[in-house]
Amino acid sequence: MLVSCVAYESGHRLSDIAPDAIGATLKVPGRFVWVGLKNPGPGELAAMQHEFDLHELAVEDARHGHQRPKVEEYGDSLFAVLHMVEVKDGELEVGELNVFAGSNYVLSVRSRAEKGFTDVRARCEREPHLLVHGAGFVLYALMDSVVDRYFPILDMLETELEKLEERMFAGRAARANIEDMYALKQKLMVLKHAVGPLYDAVGKLYGGRVPKVCSGTQEYFRDVVDHLSRLNQGIDSLREMVTTALSVNLSLIAVQESETMKRLASYASLIAAPTMIAGIYGMNFEHMPELKWMFGYPAAIGLMVAIDVYLFRRFRKAGWV
């Protein structure tokens, strides 16, 4: 559906316009049009392709979606794909923002994402001295907004790891810990797939030969690259921490198994000593010296108890029982 269609001139908002008036507005020197679409149908995209003369390959990518984050140049225009990562019921859902930017227009197409960019439009309109740069500044503002939304998600995942570590050392079931850590690792991969390719793509917009659309706004895109670099480092660090936590969890499992084996060995020893004595005196050989001894039975029982008491005290002191 059409979210907004607004004409601007010299950095100031003129008015909302109808989609069929886009062509006439673009012909006026010094004006540019910013159109926002949400989950558009093929007909709406075809209409915008006709109004803005969009490249068919870029339109095809926007129509089918599920693209890798990227920035592509088509003549004097740019086509950018960004992943919009949102949290719903503790899970990460990935939407997509496709941005077509030309010399006098910006078309943003939002798919499978709930949060819009009303705040971005309001910010741009509050800064006409920057909006005068036209499509380049709007493209930066949209990118900056999407990238800034990654930071709270990264903070959420870091908090989730801290809680997992607390539960891990609190004696929670090892299997549940491993399952939760792998789930966290998958979330980090979702965020990495959104940030990593975009970092490489946006780097082309401020260094060396920059596209015509971005002329005069290179320093703003450099700021986006700086944010993406911080995100990349944060994600990589958190992934290493998750890997370390998995190793520690497996070590704790080994320690628990070792403690169990110690206990089993202790109990086996407590049983083995009396069994050995009973076995010796249960052979009933005719010439055993103690066979007809009056105190043989209580002496054997006493020996069994004494050995078990001695072993039990040693095992208790060692922490095995």
- Bridge-partner residues for 36, per DSSP? 4, 108
Is 161 in contact with 188 (CB distance < 8 Å)? no
Instruction: Yes or no: say if 101 and 138 are a contact pair by the CB < 8 Å rule.
Output: yes
User: How many other C-beta atoms lie within 10 A of the C-beta of residue 41?
Assistant: 11
CA distance 126 to 251: 56
- Both tokens of 98, joined, read 């496709």
Output the pLDDT for position 286: 67
What distance in Å separates the CA atoms of residue 141 and residue 15, rounded to the nearest whole number? 20
Instruction: Give the residue carrying structure tokens 């949060």.
Output: 115
Q: Is beta strand 105-111 parallel, antiparallel or unpaired with respect to 31-38? A: parallel
Left, alpha or beta for 47 (phi > 0: left; psi -120 to 50: alpha)?
Answer: alpha
How many C-beta atoms lie closer than 10 Å to residue 293's C-beta?
A: 11
d(CA 22, CA 27): 9
Full pLDDT tens readout for the chain, 321 residues: 788 889 998 889 998 899 888 888 888 888 889 999 999 888 889 999 988 989 999 999 988 888 899 999 998 889 999 999 999 988 899 999 999 999 889 999 999 888 889 999 999 999 998 888 889 999 999 999 999 999 999 999 999 999 888 888 887 777 788 888 889 999 999 999 999 999 988 988 887 778 888 888 888 999 999 999 999 999 999 999 998 888 888 777 777 777 778 777 787 887 887 887 787 777 766 667 766 777 777 878 888 888 888 878 887 887 777
* Cα 229 to Cα 187: distance, rounded to the nearest angstrom: 19
CB 44 within 8 A of CB 107: no
Q: Please report the pLDDT score of residue 287 as a whole number.
A: 67
CATH superfamily of 1-128: CorA soluble domain-like (3.30.460.20)
Degrees to nearest 5, angle at CA 263 with 168 and 280: 170
Cβ atoms of 49 and 59 within 8 Å: the answer is yes
Q: How far is CA 109 from the centre of its chain?
A: 24
User: What pLDDT is recorded for position 285?
Assistant: 65
Locate the domains of the chain by residue range: 1-128, 258-318
In the CATH hierarchy, which fold is given to the domain comprising 258-318? Answer: Methane Monooxygenase Hydroxylase; Chain G, domain 1 (1.20.58)
Residue 227's pLDDT is what? 94
In 39-173, DSSP assigns E strands to 70-74, 77-88, 91-102, 105-111
